[in-house]
Structure 1
Amino acid sequence: MRLNRRNLLRYSAIAGASLALPSALRAQDGNPLTEIFGNGRVLRDTDQTLNTDAAQSLIATNEPILSFDTVYNLQLAISQYEPFVANGGWEEIPQEAYKLVVGNSSPAVIALKRRLIGGGDMPWAENINDTFDAQTDAGVRIFQARHGLIINGQIDEPTWYAMNVPAQQRLQQLYLNYTRVQGMAANLNPRYVVVNIPAATIEAVNDGMVEQRHTAVVGRVERATPIMASKISQINFNPYWHVPKSLVRQDLTKYMQENPNYLTEQNIFIYDGAGNKVDPQTINWAGITDEQVNYMYRQEPGAANSMGHCKINFYNPYDCYLHDTPSKALFGENARFHSSGCVRVEGVNQLVNWLLRDNGDWDQSKVDMTFESLQRLDVECQARVPIHTTYITAWANRQGTVSFRDDVYKFDEQGKVTFNETANG
């Protein structure tokens, strides 16, 4: 819900009242000329790029997701959601709304507009017609921005499902995350990095302001990214990738069964305990064996390396780290839960520059040149910047925008508000 401190309580009252509005007030009478010419005019009158920019501006503020300010903002959101939920919340939208876009006319648009008004994404209107107009397009894009969805103005599957989450469930998310953020905010340094797992985003924060924000890819459900608090210690430029034994068991054996040339194509070499190279064709890949797992598998630096151009290290017992990736397309997805626990970072070169700014002789140009050179280089971070991997599924900023994310690891469902973080001294 995009909260307006003056108007949201008014929305909470009218949303319940609107359920009983007679159809004559809910929908304007159809006009044959509108039916013939209206859709084209609606499309011409809708600046979809402007609507997207406006939606993004509501969430792209410099306020951290994890901060004392967020505690206050969540408290305010709770105080405004409670009477709204008590009054009945918003209504569901029907399946007929699926795939609606600007210019469409359908009775389901009426329910869609009522849902957007109830959620604060569209202003109150006395009369609601069945045309998906420019204002509806703007409201849908605001809704998508607040829920971390691809902003396309279409009622696609992720948008339809998110719109049908009950207001009571959203209020419960606010309660849980208020307690989570309140507990973590007391332990924050002036400068820190936050990986918010449900949002699959990273924030680089300094003195209460987000100086960089990055899209991320985090662990899938069965290989979850752990909740941790540590300190970033080292940057590995153009690193080797040593394949973890768990991935040899779970993935690599299967890939070799499907394609005997997989290791060669991926520039991965096998070494025995004495450091000698082993020919992959001499290994039996028919099933998972101790023989396979006991070798060391190393991928050379290069374009295909799973670490991309860098690895960002911090102490933890999970062999978890931030890194670049050659699989850039995944950053454009709604649900970015694909990794085996580590965190892939879009625009990682900028984050590396931010982390090395206390090293004196590093700037963005030097970072980029080192990436491109493929030179193997390890650089200790002079500033041991704290890093927090967190689980925040609801937050709010000071301009009244409340954001929600899916409970991917089911911690909300379990009612978890504290986590056993791994700390680095």
Structure 2
Amino acid sequence: MSNTTGIVGISRRALLMGAASVGAAAIAGQAAAQTALDEIISAPRRGNWDDQFDAQVSRVASAVLSNTPMLDANNLFNMQQAIAQYQMIVANGGWPMVQPAAALRIGANDPVIPALRQRLMISGDLGREAGMSTAFDSYVEGAIKRFQARHGLPEDGVLGEFTVKALNVSADVRLNQLNTNLVRLQSMSGDLGRRYVVVNIPAAYIEAVENNRVVLRNTAVVGRIDRQSPVLNSKIYQVILNPYWTAPRSIIQKDIMPLMRKDPTYLTRNAIRLFDGNGNEVAPETVDWNAEKAPNLMFRQDPGKINAMSSTKIDFHNEHAVYMHDTPQQGLFNKLMRFESSGCVRVQNVRDLVTWLLKETPGWSRQEIERVIASRVNNPVKLAEEVPVYFTYITAWSARDNIVQFRDDIYQKDGDAQLALQTNIGVEPIVGSLEEDLLPQ
């Protein structure tokens, strides 16, 4: 799957010539043939970091985003250009490793910075005019922010652990990643619909697309590696305001049973009630929580602020019984590693997405949505027209010319272990979590 040859459907020679003609100056700096590197290295040294300030450099990360949908068919050409560019980088020896002794930021002076500059020049994040020096100046900070934006990292301009790991993924591995994802994008290049939603699992974000333009982007929390969010195509048919949450059997067995052994008040504190097959409520104290198997009962949480889905659930048909929803734990969206659910997808600013989904359903203005949510009364709303939804696994794409985005291969599907950067960091697993949000314990 990660083979670097035979995947691109057009002539390599044509691609190389096209890439060269479109961006000859950029490629000369990015591909960095040895003569070009010599020229860069011998450029006049600058003085202190603060006499190189360029306001445009500090804003360069904002240019990474695009209103073009990730799955737009035109992006296939951008990907093919990127593959040609990375082939040239690999052919010219790739880029150097960067091994700082500690995190570096603007104002630092360190012997590793010339290698960092060279690395960023080759990938096109740093212009040649920045020259070579040991100073971590505004040029380097702007280039680091651009690199971080392209790799889904916090744009703090600091050379920290995750940024270093992403920098040190070799060019040939990135080339393989591009080829792997070109195949995935080609499989999604048909007519996706006038309005549709894309969940990119490794990027942990959501695009709402209308008339071939991204109208909303929402940060997401997706499934962790042992409870993965599935790749699927479906249609959103319903939004539930103030939903009940019904615990899946697997969650009852794996999570709720052990929690009830430790704390018999857990269900009551979390407004979770038990019902038998006839709809009769069952008292928790009548259940043997030490039994090997969970009781054959429905575990249902009432609507409210502590509900696992909080204000909203977004339903679509699928065999995996997953859905999208709100969460009472909004702080999760601020985390770098947003792979913490049991397969469903938590949506930041979900009410914006719901307003967009229901805008063609009569009677459901933003004001009415907010009014119903405030009532705390369960209210399912059928969409007037179902909206396609696509759960995808895309770890590399290019929605703008010469701007390539990479993401962590969190589920290790790209064929190279070093691409699962966050998995390799040694992150502690979440303990005692329920589907879908972590309820108070």
TM bracket, shorter-chain basis: 0.7 to 0.9
Find the counterpart in structure 2 of residue 11 from structure 1: 29
Check whether the contact 2:32–2:89 (CA below 8 A) recurs between aligned residues. no
Counterpart among 228, 249, 255 of residue 253 in structure 2: 249
Cα 1:363–1:278, aligned 2, differ >3 Å: closer, same or farther? same
What whole-Å deviation, never above 9, does each CA across 1:168-210 have from its counterpart, x for those lacking one? 1111111111121112111422221111111111111112111
Find the counterpart in structure 2 of residue 419 from structure 1: none
Structure 1 residue 401: Cα displacement:
1.3
**Hey, what's the Cα distance between the residues in 1 that align with 2:33 and 2:98?**
14
Counterpart among 103, 106, 119 of residue 102 in structure 1: 106
TM-score by length of 1: 0.87
Cα 1:70–1:282, aligned 2, differ >3 Å: closer, same or farther? same
TM-score by length of 2: 0.84
Find the counterpart in structure 2 of residue 272 from structure 1: 276
Equivalent position SS for 1:223 = coil
RMSD of the alignment, in Å? 2.5
**Hey, what's the Cα distance between the residues in 2 that align with 1:390 and 1:251?**
28
Counterpart among 331, 334, 339 of residue 332 in structure 1: 334
Structure 1 residue 340: Cα displacement:
0.5
Check whether the contact 1:232–1:313 (CA below 8 A) recurs between aligned residues. yes
Cα 1:126–1:366, aligned 2, differ >3 Å: closer, same or farther? closer
> Identity, % of aligned pairs?
39
**Hey, what's the Cα distance between the residues in 2 that align with 1:259 and 1:289?**
17
| Aligned: 1:66 with 2:71 | yes
Find the counterpart in structure 1 of residue 420 from structure 2: none
Structure 1 residue 277: Cα displacement:
2.6
Check whether the contact 2:233–2:390 (CA below 8 A) recurs between aligned residues. yes
| Aligned: 1:365 with 2:367 | yes
Structure 1 residue 373: Cα displacement:
2.3
**Hey, what's the Cα distance between the residues in 1 that align with 2:181 and 2:308?**
33
**Hey, what's the Cα distance between the residues in 2 that align with 1:257 and 1:5?**
64
Check whether the contact 1:12–1:89 (CA below 8 A) recurs between aligned residues. no
**Hey, what's the Cα distance between the residues in 2 that align with 1:204 and 1:137?**
32
Cα 1:277–1:52, aligned 2, differ >3 Å: closer, same or farther? farther
Count matched residues: 397
Structure 1 residue runs of 5 or longer lacking an equivalent are 416-425
Check whether the contact 1:202–1:215 (CA below 8 A) recurs between aligned residues. yes
| Aligned: 1:56 with 2:62 | yes
Equivalent position SS for 2:386 = coil
Structure 1 residue 404: Cα displacement:
0.4
What whole-Å deviation, never above 9, does each CA across 1:63-119 have from its counterpart, x for those lacking one? 0011201112111111222111111111110142x4101111111222211211111
Find the counterpart in structure 1 of residue 436 from structure 2: none
Check whether the contact 2:241–2:372 (CA below 8 A) recurs between aligned residues. yes
Bigger Cα displacement from structure 2, 129-138 vs 108-117: 108-117
**Hey, what's the Cα distance between the residues in 1 that align with 2:370 and 2:263?**
34
**Hey, what's the Cα distance between the residues in 2 that align with 1:370 and 1:113?**
54
Find the counterpart in structure 2 of residue 115 from structure 1: 119
**Hey, what's the Cα distance between the residues in 2 that align with 1:94 and 1:19?**
19
Find the counterpart in structure 2 of residue 302 from structure 1: 304
Equivalent position SS for 1:305 = coil
Check whether the contact 1:302–1:309 (CA below 8 A) recurs between aligned residues. yes
Amino acid at match of 1:328: Q
Q: How does 1:1-400 map to 2 (within 5 A)?
A: 5-14=23-32, 16-17=34-35, 25=42, 28=45, 38=48, 41=50, 53-59=59-65, 61-96=66-101, 98-125=102-129, 127-286=131-290, 289-290=292-293, 292-400=294-402
Query: Which structure shows the higher helix fraction?
Result: 1
Equivalent position SS for 1:7 = helix
What whole-Å deviation, never above 9, does each CA across 1:218-263 have from its counterpart, x for those lacking one? 1111111111111111111100000111111111123223433222
Structure 2 residue runs of 5 or longer lacking an equivalent are 1-19, 418-441
Cα 1:281–1:398, aligned 2, differ >3 Å: closer, same or farther? same
Amino acid at match of 2:89: F
Structure 1 residue 126: Cα displacement:
7.4
